[in-house]
Amino acid sequence: MSEQTNIWPLWEVFVRSSRGLSHVHAGSLHAPDAAMALRNARDLYTRRNEGVSIWVVPSDAIASSDPDSKGAYFESPQGKDYRHATYYTKSEGVKHL
């Protein structure tokens, strides 16, 4: 059987369960466009009225850092200790700090 050439794009689904909370990645789905992705995400990931907001994002629009290089990527650069609060000393005249 030949390989399909008309595969729908992959969408990442983020759901916010209640007001005041952040959107959380719920899963992925295939859909031809954003409107259909929203409808399918609603049916698939919010079955029991647990969501108040849904985001769908094309998977190819998301960029991420490499988890294997987390040390070098997230460590503070050498010589830039001033970016941390522990670098600064408390002034004598300042109260309640």
Q: What pLDDT score was predicted for residue 71?
A: 72
Domains in the chain: how many in total? 1
* Residue 3, domain member (yes or no): no
User: What are the distances in angstroms from CA 68 to CA 64, 76, 77, 95?
Assistant: 12, 17, 18, 44
* Residue 92, domain member (yes or no): no
- Reported as a single tens digit per residue, the pLDDT across 29-81 is 999 999 999 999 999 998 777 789 999 999 999 998 888 877 777 776 777 77
Q: What is the CATH number of the domain that holds 32?
A: 3.10.20.520
* Residue 5, domain member (yes or no): no
* Residue 56, domain member (yes or no): yes
